[in-house]
Structure 1
Amino acid sequence: MMKSQIGLFDVAVVGGGVVGCAVARRFALDGARVVLLEKAPDILAGASKANSALLHTGFDAPPGSLELACMQAGYREYIEIRDRMNLPLLETGAMVVAWSGEDLPRLNGIAEQARANGVDDVSLLDKAEVLRREPHLATSVRGALLVPGEHVIDPWSAPLAYLSQAVLNGAQALFNAEVLSGRLEDGVWLLDTPKGQLRAQTVINCAGLFGDILEERLLGGSSFTILPRKGQFVVFDKAAAALLRTIILPVPNDRTKGVVLARTIFGNVLVGPTAEEQIDRDRADVDQRTLRMLIAKATEMVPALADAPVTAIYAGLRPATERKEYRVTANLEKRWISVGGIRSTGLTASLGLARHVAELHRGFGDDKRAPLTDPLWPHMPNLAEHMARDWQADGHGEIVCHCELVTQREIEQALAGPLPAGDIGGLKRRTRAGMGRCQGFYCQARIAALTAGKLAEPLAVETSDE
């Protein structure tokens, strides 16, 4: 049986994480015919669904690295476009906190690195200054480095906005469309997916945790090896937000940046992540011992958190590789660009990575299309707790999720438009429904009714025969 052909594209972006969404946007704005292929029913189904949601300045990135350049370019572009897209920014600043006499002198070196990286507004704080800024911190604090430009953003609305703009300007997004096989014929890729076969002049590998597998599958070998790294998080109830206004970072070590304590854009406080190597690329389980450790670590830093209830626990996987740096390569002969090894800084760096990839692609010498002069811009619904929410406006219908004050109108809008939620995870990331204290226990049945027949993977609700 002959497979149906979807069409010919300039660029096929494989992977619907934050980097893939940003890359699709950049090429669409540059006038290319773009398709994004995601094997899940919705975007952000892999590593991008679980992160710390911090907008990084690059103060502690390796000097002269691609990671630093992309983070700072991505930071600048996010600030430039966020108002136009209605993307939130919670201006918190960060402190790299020394809790021991051993850590205290290391702050000077971190400050020097920050300035070498162009982050000139950092300053050293003594114990009294730290406690004036954060009076709920433990009095065992020794000092800190203040980094004013580090902030908190919405980790889900941003990539959704990026792909939404791509689609508004002509790109296609195909879901449940895993790239099963492919071959390069006469300078054009033929890609086989469950949705049919499509042709693309260039493939951009943004497959995250499966990036090396995609290379093996289509190129016969991979330039990097994914070594999944799990990070577990604990989320405290919204009352805890009154105890903290600054991102609290530890003095890092050679392996990890360590456990972070920060507010979230949704009004909570989170602590994490851990850094645990594992083989499984699909599952990121939580365990009680580690979660108790995270809670103990949080209360060690802010003792009043001992009385704060925990709202949620979760874990995510980061696509680490056998080397620490980003693994970005371009192969003109194969018409292929890989964007691999993008770990915890990918949310910030995504827009910068997209520009870097577009520049690599220009080196292929076949860009004949002009950038869009007047592109369409999406306006994203606000999910940030410090800004006006839909429940505060007229005509929103019923409150569906009472923990997070999610309205019927928000649910209905998330199920409509060019990029509707494909599964319950996608709906949650578009609305906050089910994120609160009860974790969907009370609203699940109503959400199942509202989404009936509208999700690629329906929300099943158990019923009783009694």
Structure 2
Amino acid sequence: MLHANAPPKPQEIFDVAIIGAGVVGCATARRFALAGARVVLIEKGADILSGASKANSAILHTGFDAPPDSLELELVKAGRQEYLEIRESLSLRIVETGALVCAWNALEADKLEAIEETGRANGISELKLLTGSAARATMPGLSENLVSAIEVSGEHVIDPWTAPLAYLTQAAALGAKFLRSTELLKGTFDGEWTLETSSGEVRARAVVNTAGLYGDVVDEKLGFAPEFTIHPRKGQFVVLDKAAFRHVPRIVLPVPTEITKGIVVCPTAFGNVIIGPTAEEQDDRVRATVEADTLKALLARGAEIVPALAGIPVTALYAGLRPATEKKAYRVACRPEARAITLGGIRSTGLSAALGLARHAVELHATFGEPLMPPASLPSIVMPNLTETEERDWQRPDHGEILCHCELVTRREVEATFTSPVPPGDFGGLRRRTRAGMGRCQGFYCNAHLAALTAGKLAAPLAVDEGEAK
């Protein structure tokens, strides 16, 4: 069973235990492993990215609109820079789209100058205020109703699933251990941490909380009075068919509000276009439902922005939850006396800031932890390409067969995930590693084949035997 855990040995003591395998947790595991720490990453879901990180807009932000002089700004810029530095060594891709912050009325247009000034104060120089006609010249599909825009040439699109997988893959190659389907029950500190989990006891010299939607709950389980409360914020998205891609070569951003960055029309690295997210407060930390009326409103708004999108078929609908708190700021806490760090309240910029947050966590750890010895050499990591920017596996010989014809996923790609250092633990993980079942038919034609191919390899099978179901 490739999804099963090998429990730690009773005498095994890790330098750092990281709780939560979203993008921030995976990045943090990598950074501590690079520093020379013995790392364990604990995740209660069956796979990485099981919570907030599985649903986002996949934008690599510059930080142009981040709060000035904030920790978020510092870490978004640091994370983006590191991504650009390591992407070739980890085989990560980027689609250089650039973005337009679009004003659709005079009130919004009046705010653009202040946004540009904030961006320049934040150290982002690649900003340009454009008239409506000048902005449309860079993206002809935009509505004639556009008043003005700011061009942000450094905002790009990446593959949001392969990047965190690469971070954990490199960490695993350096000896990090990944415990999936493992829920933290309680933590006690007596010079060292003893973590009671659903998979057994884990011991560590330090702990880092990267639990996202459960960040406050994990702090409480570790014995801390929570310094923040998570208020889940739901974001619904519509994914349009690949026919939409030629009409949206750039990221189209709205003028943001105090609450949200607003509805984005954005190309994806996979050749689709997404519209979203909404910003809806809710109490449920698990379920993020999609609602017909809201999705119709998203489609209508998308067509108002780019008229050619009207009538283009919808490929998929999804909703995600962001770990919002009482404050807009990141909720980062360091408790040297307890050898603990919390990286909480990481909302829409988490994908961009993850590498910066990870480096920041190692710097905080250095204020109380033992000196670490970086490894003498780094393992070579080659991640498969899922984007439409380079050659895909189906274009190469001897791939076995194409299993998912909508997304052109091969047998070889699916089989390779189960021999990789971090194999998928559930179907969502398999989809995020291959794109299988994510196309027009949403798995209608390929799921039976995938169920047979993955039998016995996932925590929850794709198909249940009729005898077992009775």
**Same structural fold, with TM-score higher than 0.5 when normalized by the shorter chain:** yes
Alignment match, 1:334: 338
Distance 1:308 1:328 in 2: 43
Partner SS, residue 158 of structure 1: helix
The equivalent position to 1:442 in structure 2, one of 442, 445, 466, is: 445
TM-score when normalising by structure 1? 0.97
1:246 has 2:223 as partner: no
Which shifted more, 151-160 or 302-311? 302-311
The equivalent position to 1:422 in structure 2, one of 416, 422, 425, is: 425
1:298 has 2:285 as partner: no
Distance 2:305 2:126 in 1: 25
Alignment match, 2:154: 149
Alignment match, 1:59: 64
Alignment match, 1:13: 18
Amino acid at match of 1:114: G
Tell me, yes or no, if the aligned pair for 1:20 and 1:206 is still in contact at 8 Å: yes
Amino acid at match of 1:263: P
Alignment match, 2:138: 133
The Cα offsets for residues 164-186 of structure 1, whole Å up to 9 and x where unpaired, read as 0000011111111111112112x
Distance 1:463 1:191 in 2: 40
Compute the displacement of 1:373 (Å). 3.4
Compute the displacement of 1:232 (Å). 0.2
The Cα offsets for residues 157-211 of structure 1, whole Å up to 9 and x where unpaired, read as 00000000000011111111111112112x1101111222111010100001011
TM-score when normalising by structure 2? 0.96
Partner SS, residue 353 of structure 2: helix
Distance 1:329 1:212 in 2: 12
Partner SS, residue 316 of structure 1: strand
Distance 1:48 1:6 in 2: 33
1:211 has 2:234 as partner: no
The equivalent position to 1:369 in structure 2, one of 346, 367, 372, is: 372
Compute the displacement of 1:382 (Å). 0.2
Cα root mean square deviation, aligned: 1.4
Tell me, yes or no, if the aligned pair for 1:4 and 1:197 is still in contact at 8 Å: no
Alignment match, 2:238: 234
Distance 1:442 1:19 in 2: 34
1:395 has 2:398 as partner: yes
Alignment match, 1:312: 316
Change in Cα spacing, 1:342 to 1:138, as seen in structure 2 (3 Å) is: same
Which segments of structure 1 move beyond 4 Å, counting only runs of 4 or more? Answer: 461-465
Partner SS, residue 184 of structure 2: coil
The Cα offsets for residues 12-71 of structure 1, whole Å up to 9 and x where unpaired, read as 000000000000000000000100000111100000000000000000000110000000
Partner SS, residue 406 of structure 2: coil
Distance 1:394 1:183 in 2: 54
Compute the displacement of 1:127 (Å). 1.6
The equivalent position to 1:89 in structure 2, one of 63, 87, 94, is: 94
Distance 1:245 1:332 in 2: 47
Which shifted more, 221-230 or 4-13? 4-13
Partner SS, residue 315 of structure 1: strand
Distance 2:11 2:419 in 1: 23
Compute the displacement of 1:461 (Å). 5.4
Tell me, yes or no, if the aligned pair for 1:448 and 1:461 is still in contact at 8 Å: no
Amino acid at match of 1:35: V
Distance 2:11 2:177 in 1: 10
Compute the displacement of 1:377 (Å). 3.0
Alignment match, 2:281: 277
The Cα offsets for residues 286-317 of structure 1, whole Å up to 9 and x where unpaired, read as 00010001000000001111121000000000
Distance 2:459 2:256 in 1: 42
Partner SS, residue 421 of structure 1: coil
Query: Following superposition of structure 1 onto structure 2, how do residues 215-226 of structure 1 map, counting pairs within 5 Å?
Result: 215-226=219-230
Distance 2:135 2:352 in 1: 26
